[in-house]
Amino acid sequence: MANPLHLLVIDLETRPDATILPEDRDAEAFPKPIQHEIVTLGFLLARIEHDGQAECYTVRKLGAASIADRSEREILAGFWHLVDKQKPRLVTWNGRGFDVAILKQRSLIHGLVAHNWHRTDPRFGYDYRYETNWHCDLMDALSDFGASPRLGLDEAAQALGLPGKWNGHGENVAEQAAAGDYAAINRYCEGDVLNTYVLYLRWACFSTRVSARGHNASVQNLLDYLAAGRARNPHWGEFADRWQASARPCPLFVNEPLGEPGPQPPESHLRSEDVLP
């Protein structure tokens, strides 16, 4: 298989799993990946369009799966099923250091299998760190795989005029989960997914994976998607409003060179029922 068919941006919110934490552990130490229980998995799935060598993206679904509605095992099984079915390029922020490590290690606990993950391009597939075609860990890529200081998601987002972590922080997730406020966790998680997706679009333009025209079409498609779903998901609209109202000197759209080859903006016949998670 030469190329992925979709783009899948994910973010995890977790809490320490008290059932497997060592009793004598340092209370200040950050738990290892296998010791994190998944609370919410946020995701954005987009279809990859092709025009020659350039790409363009059309959002299909934005949402979050949480333990308020299903078990951790079901969340994990659903993720691996999505990878098997959609054959996506995974996009994460520190995914290799945290999110994907948790997905893999917690799946061992539940006895799950990841077929496509391990069979797609065995040499340069999902687990090959220095190839971004199947798994693009943006934090890793932007630091030249550790050669330069690593950026936090909020730092990178703020620099580009994105809202960043305007609606929550990871340190509050355990307390919110204990209080049963999973809706707030889901909103926060989807915010991180949106920040990551827009950062990916800009990086994909910089790295020539998408043309300037493809970048702008993908940004407009996202804005249309968020506008169509903001009545049911007000935080989507708030993300778009804060982004477009930012005082940072970083435009939403990049300049399109005259005559630049690239994909035409995808048609977006969105209905409200198409964007509800």
d(CA 205, CA 211): 6
pLDDT band of 29, cuts 50, 70, 90: confident
Of 18-22, 72-76, 123-127, the range with the highest mean pLDDT is: 72-76
Segment among 4-8, 120-124, 188-192, 206-210 with least mean pLDDT: 120-124
pLDDT at position 233 is 98
Q: Average model confidence (pLDDT) for the chain?
A: 92
Average pLDDT over residues 257-271: 53
pLDDT tens track for 174-192: 999 999 999 999 999 999 9
pLDDT grade for 269, boundaries at 50, 70 and 90: very low
Q: Which domains are assigned to the chain?
A: 6-20+33-255 (3.30.420.10)
Q: Write down the pLDDT at residue 255.
A: 92
pLDDT for 265: 46
Confidence of residue 259 (pLDDT cuts 50, 70, 90): low
Q: SS3 sequence, the chain?
A: CCCCCEEEEEEEEEEECCCCCCCCCCCCCCCCHHHEEEEEEEEEEEEEEEECCEEEEEEEEEEEEECCCCCHHHHHHHHHHHHHHHCEEEEECCHHHHHHHHHHHHHHHHCCCCHHHHHCCCCCCCCCCCCCCCEEEHHHHHCCCCCCCCCCHHHHHHHCCCCCCCCCCHHHHHHHHHCCCHHHHHHHHHHHHHHHHHHHHHHHHHCCCECHHHHHHHHHHHHHHHHHHCCCCHHHHHHHHHHHCCCCCCCCCCCCCCCCCCCCCCCCCCCHHHCCC
Q: What pLDDT is stored for residue 252 in this prediction?
A: 93
What pLDDT is recorded for position 35?
Answer: 97
pLDDT digits (tens, 9 = 90+) for 218-231: 999 999 999 999 99
Quote the pLDDT of residue 250: 86
Does 51 score more than 50 pLDDT? yes
What pLDDT shows up at residue 100? 98
Give per-residue pLDDT as tens, 129-156.
999 999 999 999 999 999 999 999 999 9
Which DSSP state fits 93? S
